[in-house]
Amino acid sequence: MVVSQFFSSPLRTLKNKARGSTRTTHDCSSSDDDTSTPSRPAALTTGTCLCCGSKVGFPPTVSCFKCTICDTINDLRPVQRTEKTCAEGTGSGGSAVAPPLTLERLKAGVQAYRRHPEKQGLLEAMLRESFGCWELLNFSFVVGNEINVDEVHAAYKIILALPPVFIRAMMAGVEQILRRPG
């Protein structure tokens, strides 16, 4: 099977000159002994990026696609969570998911870190997961059906008083949401 090349490679030209050959491109009209046909690519579905509005092609079997222009990951079938599954820490299909962030949970994580500084990774992971999932944030600091703004303010005050590594973990989580809208 002969593969045609649209552009000749400068490195191939140098290699061929070193071998004594002057031919740099393949002849598309010649045939090889291999008579197999190349496999056809699967039909692509076209979607629009939620961030930049670009048209992007993707296989119809995927649940998300990454925009080739802005690198945003676009979910085609978002996971729906309810207040009950968030409170229980379970996702769709019974998979384990971090529970929503509460002021008590944050204080407990900070106290555990201060008692055992070697476990800083646990607090970092909690902040990254909590701030990196919009479903968790929607159910964080909720009392009844409303967000307790005083608890949110107290939580940010606690986080901003921590060493910079924890603030970076929170910001990395927020960046995940910004890169994966909807």
The 10s digit of each residue's pLDDT in 24-41 is 333 333 444 445 555 556
- To the nearest 10 degrees (0 to 180), the angle between helices 120-131 and 164-179 is 30
- Give the separation between CA 71 and CA 131, rounded to whole angstroms: 20
pLDDT in the model for residue 6: 38
Q: Give the pair of three-digit tokens for residue 156.
A: 């940010």
Residue 153, pLDDT above cutoff 90: yes
Instruction: Yes or no: say if 65 and 74 are a contact pair by the CB < 8 Å rule.
Output: yes
Residue 117, pLDDT above cutoff 50: yes
Mean pLDDT across the chain? 75
Mean pLDDT of 52-67: 88
- Give the separation between CA 50 and CA 113, rounded to whole angstroms: 38
- Give the separation between CA 30 and CA 28, rounded to whole angstroms: 6
Q: Which residues pair with 46 in a beta bridge?
A: 57
